[in-house]
Chain A
């Protein structure tokens, strides 16, 4: 399986500021996904990021708040902009790996964000 390095692992930020989360994969992948997981909750998809195209956002998430970059097949960033305490959450990147006729999804270890 792909190995995902996600940085930072945690951060405490002041409201009104922005944080950029990095996701580095050790192999080339087409599909990358960004999720949010609020404490004790399930994973909610923020957006899908394909290399070379604009990210596709889910309902309730907008590009101005969560801009995403996908400059190549091994890297992506998610920025949480103009943060408020409601943005305190775990942010996870995930990749889809195609292995012949099979596929699987691997997750990074997440970025635990606290906004004060």
Chain B
């Protein structure tokens, strides 16, 4: 079953706006939460990741907000650009090494000029 629920499925944002994608999980054994960006014909590329002992992490225009009690985390893309148009996946990993990532269903982001 889908262990990580992602919304919205698609998102249209104007250039310069803020794109927000949300994810929720149930399994409290997850201890690593990355976001991936994927362009057509390419493999997913790591954007930013967070551990549950941190509530927010920022790298450039990308910010992860993490709410451990609500078991939710979100990606904020500030000053969205047309080049950000891609599919974004949230993921989560069980604690301990050797476990694969569990992915959300993805969000197709379109940033209009």
Q: Mark B33-63, 1 if CB is under 8 A from A, else 0.
A: 0101000011111100100000000000000
- Chain A count of residues within 8 A CB distance of the other chain: 25
A87 to B31 CA separation, bound complex (whole angstroms): 32
- Chain B count of residues within 8 A CB distance of the other chain: 20
- B23 CB to closest chain A CB (Å) equals 12
Query: In this complex, what residue of B is CB-closest to A108?
Result: B43
Q: Mark B77-113, 1 if CB is under 8 A from A, else 0.
A: 0000000000001000100011011011110000000
A50 to B105 CA separation, bound complex (whole angstroms): 26
Query: In this complex, what residue of A is CB-closest to B4?
Result: A42
Query: In this complex, what residue of A is CB-closest to B6?
Result: A42
Is B32 close to A, CB under 8 A?
yes
Known contacts A42-B103, A43-B89, A43-B103; decide if A109 and B97 are in contact (CB<8 Å).
no
Q: Which residues of A contact B44 (CB under 8 A)?
A: 43, 92, 107
Known contacts A42-B89, A112-B41; decide if A98 and B104 are in contact (CB<8 Å).
no
**B43 near A92: Cβ-Cβ < 8 Å:** yes
Question: Which residue of A30, A33, A109, A110 is within 8 Å of B100 (Cβ)?
Answer: A33
- A88 CB to closest chain B CB (Å) equals 15
- B37 CB to closest chain A CB (Å) equals 11
Q: Which residues of B contact A43 (CB under 8 A)?
A: 44, 89, 101, 103
A108 to B49 CA separation, bound complex (whole angstroms): 19
| B interface residues (Cβ-Cβ under 8 A, vs A) | 32, 34, 36, 41-46, 49, 89, 93, 97-98, 100-101, 103-106
Taking A30-B98, A31-B98, A50-B98 as given, write out 4 further A-B residue pairs in contact, using a Cβ cutoff of 8 Å, ordered by the A residue number. Answer: A4-B43, A94-B100, A96-B97, A112-B41
| A interface residues (Cβ-Cβ under 8 A, vs B) | 1, 4, 6, 30-31, 33, 41-43, 45, 48, 50, 92, 94, 96, 98, 103-110, 112
